[in-house]
Structure 1
Amino acid sequence: MASQEPQPFHWRYPELDDRDLQIRGRTLFSIVVLVAFILLITLLFIYARWVCRLRLLLSASSDLPHAPPSQPQPQPPQGLHPSTINSFPIILHNSSTMKTVDDSECCICLGIFQNEDKVKVLPKCHHCYHSDCVDRWLTAHSSCPLCRSSLRADSPV
């Protein structure tokens, strides 16, 4: 009995053995394209989620105080040196010498010049202001309040 040859495997249920099920040509190509498309869309979705999470983490870490700034912060405008401000000429206002409307009003405080007011004349543009008004302005800015021409010594006229 040991010399008995093994029997080949046969289905016990012949109704499950469908020899007519064959995938060829266009059907096979369509299935492969559909599976590849679904795989591609899935990979793109996973990549998009990864990029969004990375951006969220980077923006959250930039809000921390120890994180370096992404762009250099602009320096606040600096005014003129006090010695430069004091070098500008001061005149006493006289309504008979000031002929134009521009020369009769301080554009900083909008006050009208009275006789004997101390008026400072800016050298490059010759605009006039109350001495106290323009001194405060020039400690924070380096330009004329009216025409914005630079009053720095190294700037062109």
Structure 2
Amino acid sequence: MASQPFQWHYDEFEDGNYEIHGYAFFFILFLIIVILLLTILILYARCICHCQGRPSHAPQSLPSHRGLDPTTCISKLPITLSETNIGEAECCICLGVFQNGDKLKLLPVCHHCFHSECVDKWLTTRSTCPLCRAQLRFDSLV
């Protein structure tokens, strides 16, 4: 049997079906530009809304000294010496157990007791009891 040569049928491969016509190309390009512009607009609006909610960067006047005055308030607190009947009580600031003869300060509002040096340092930066956070008023200390 003699083999016949293979013949291509070019009629089956029509290039017209695979072409992107000019108007389709411009439509796709238009859609890409519109999506890009919408994305930029959304990001810009998000940035504007986010920046409006922030506080300004202007310096705020914070009180420079929130604690009690060492000369008029802290020095007015009475100092007592610890006694042997205190037991296993400890200073909640330094976590040291009260020893016989330690200098202690009793806060007038809540009656909590601390080492004198520990509570003095605490009260220069804060005006509350270290244990219960009771507010120490100036009139109660003078």
What TM-score does the superposition give when structure 2 sets the normalisation length?
0.58
1:40-51 aligned at under 5 Å gives the runs 42=34, 46-51=37-42
Deviation by residue 1:46-80 (Cα, 9 ceiling, x = unmatched): 35413424628x86xx9xxxxx4179586577111
2:109 paired with 1:124: yes
2:69 paired with 1:84: no
Partner-residue secondary structure (3-state), 1:136: helix
Counterpart position of 2:100:
115
Give the number of equivalent residue pairs.
105
Partner-residue secondary structure (3-state), 1:123: coil
Higher relative contact order, structure no. (Cα contacts within 8 Å, ≥ 6 residues apart)? 2
Q: CA RMSD in A?
A: 3.7
Deviation by residue 1:128-154 (Cα, 9 ceiling, x = unmatched): 100000000111111000000011236
**Closer, same or farther in 2 for the Cα pair 1:95/1:72, shift >3 Å?**
same
Give the ranges of 4+ consecutive aligned residues of structure 1 lying more than 4 Å apart after TM superposition: 70-77
What 5-or-longer segments of structure 1 have no aligned partner? 1-37, 63-67
Distance across 2 between alignment mates of 1:154 and 1:53: 55
2:82 paired with 1:93: yes
The structure with the larger Rg is: 1
2:110 paired with 1:142: no
What 5-or-longer segments of structure 2 have no aligned partner? 1-29
Distance across 2 between alignment mates of 1:124 and 1:110: 21
1:21-60 aligned at under 5 Å gives the runs 42=34, 46-53=37-44, 55=47
Partner-residue secondary structure (3-state), 1:119: strand
Distance across 1 between alignment mates of 2:77 and 2:91: 16
What TM-score does the superposition give when structure 1 sets the normalisation length?
0.53
Kept in 2: contact 1:93–1:116 (CA 8 A): yes
